[in-house]
């Protein structure tokens, strides 16, 4: 009917955030996994620090098993993916069965990865599924409002993650610009001063990453 309820608007936004979180953390995890192959002393703590999650793992092996797959750990990748699903499953009529099916498939891929001896290849499939989800969201969701709500969530989450990861200035500038564009066309009410501040923050000689996170988190 072209009108979205408060609850669904919220779900669309969080669907965007969680799918982004899963995608980016999967990518980072795969990269770190590669580094960990060669290392003698554990460096996984640095990974936890980088993405700002508590180190509850104790060893590299435990980290490798637990961080992606443990549903009881609220910071794990699977927990974030299940949160994405929890939002998506209530949005079937907004996003369509096709888009929803890729979130479902990402869960199946992660479940397979969990029991696989070579989990990275299955995790690659989970990433493929998320990318396909975004592709479908872009391609076949008719409502611009719906698309924009998902993308706004995605943009905020990415900026948030990139700032936490202390990424390069050019990455941050790009993400701020993308967010600024998306949020203006989204029709959502947002704080204009936050966007202005974000633009200044990424241009400042000394980048204040925490301030960027704070501004991103409070923009809506």
Partner 1 sequence: MYDLDLLEHTDTVNELLARYGVKFGIYKNNEFKEQLFPFDAIPRKIEKKEFDYLEKGLKQRVAALNLFLKDIYSKKEIVKDGIVPKDFIFASSGYMAECEGVTPIKGIYSHISGIDLVQGRDKQWYVLEDNLRVPSGASYPMIARELCRRSSPATFETNKLEDNRNYPKLLRQAMDYVNVGGHTVILTPGRYNAAYFEHSYLSEKTGAHLVTGAELKVEDDKLYYVSYDGKLERVGALYRRISDEYLDPMNFNPQSVIGIPHIFDVFRKGNVALINAPGNGIGDDKGIYYFVPKMIRYYLNEEPVLNNAPTYLPFYEEDMKYVLEHFDNLVLKDVAEAGGYGVVFGNSMTKEEKEKFITLLKKEPRRFIAQEVIDFMDIDILEGNETLPRKADLRAFVLMAEEPVVWKSGLTRFSRNPDSFIVNSSQGGGFKDTWVLSQ
DSSP state of 95: H
3 binds partner 1 (CB under 8 A): yes
Stretch that binds partner 1, among 21-29, 99-107, 190-198, 210-218 (CB under 8 A): 99-107
Kindly tell me which of 89 and 185 has the beta carbon lying closer to partner 1. Answer: 89
Q: Which are the contacts of 140, defined by CB distance < 8 A and separation ≥ 6?
A: 96, 98, 99
Per-residue string for binding with partner 1, 40-79, x by CB under 8 A?
A: ----------------------------------------
Cα angle 36, 28, 215 (rounded to 5 degrees) comes to 135
Integer Cα distance of 129 and 109 in angstroms: 9
118 binds partner 1 (CB under 8 A): no
Residue in 92, 144, 169, 192 binding partner 1, rule: CB under 8 A: 92
Q: Which are the contacts of 147, defined by CB distance < 8 A and separation ≥ 6?
A: 137, 138, 141
Kindly tell me which of 63 and 190 has the beta carbon lying closer to partner 1. Answer: 190
Q: How far is CA 22 from each of CA 7, 9, 157, 216, rounded to the nearest angstrom?
A: 22, 20, 10, 18
Q: How far is the CB of 4 from partner 1 (least distance, A)?
A: 5
Contact 202/172 with Cβ under 8 angstroms? yes
Q: How far is the CB of 101 from partner 1 (least distance, A)?
A: 5
Kindly tell me which of 25 and 186 has the beta carbon lying closer to partner 1. Answer: 186
Integer Cα distance of 102 and 106 in angstroms: 6
Give residues in contact with partner 1 (CB under 8 A). Answer: 1, 3-9, 86, 89-90, 92-93, 96-97, 100-101, 104-105, 108
């Amino acid at each position: 009917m072209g009108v979205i309820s408060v609850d669904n608007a919220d779900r669309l936004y969080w669907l965007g955030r969680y799918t982004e979180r899963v995608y980016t953390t999967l990518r980072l995890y795969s990269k770190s996994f590669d580094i960990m192959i060669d290392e003698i002393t554990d460096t996984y703590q640095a990974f936890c620090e980088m993405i700002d999650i508590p180190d509850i793992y104790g060893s590299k092996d435990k980290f490798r098993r637990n961080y992606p797959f443990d549903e009881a750990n609220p910071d794990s990748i699977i927990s974030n993916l299940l949160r994405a699903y929890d939002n998506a499953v209530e949005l079937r009529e907004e996003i369509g069965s096709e888009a929803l099916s890729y979130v479902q498939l990402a869960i199946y891929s992660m479940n397979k990865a969990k029991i696989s001896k070579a989990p990275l290849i299955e995790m690659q499939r989970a990433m493929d599924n998320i990318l396909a989800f975004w592709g479908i969201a872009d391609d076949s969701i008719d409502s611009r409002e719906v698309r924009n709500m998902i993308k706004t969530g995605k943009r905020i989450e990415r900026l948030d993650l990139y700032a936490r990861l202390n990424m390069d200035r050019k990455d941050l500038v790009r993400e701020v610009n993308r967010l600024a564009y998306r949020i203006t066309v989204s029709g959502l009410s947002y704080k204009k001063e936050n966007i202005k501040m974000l633009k200044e923050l990424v241009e400042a000689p000394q980048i204040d990453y925490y301030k960027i996170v704070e501004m991103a988190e409070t923009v809506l």
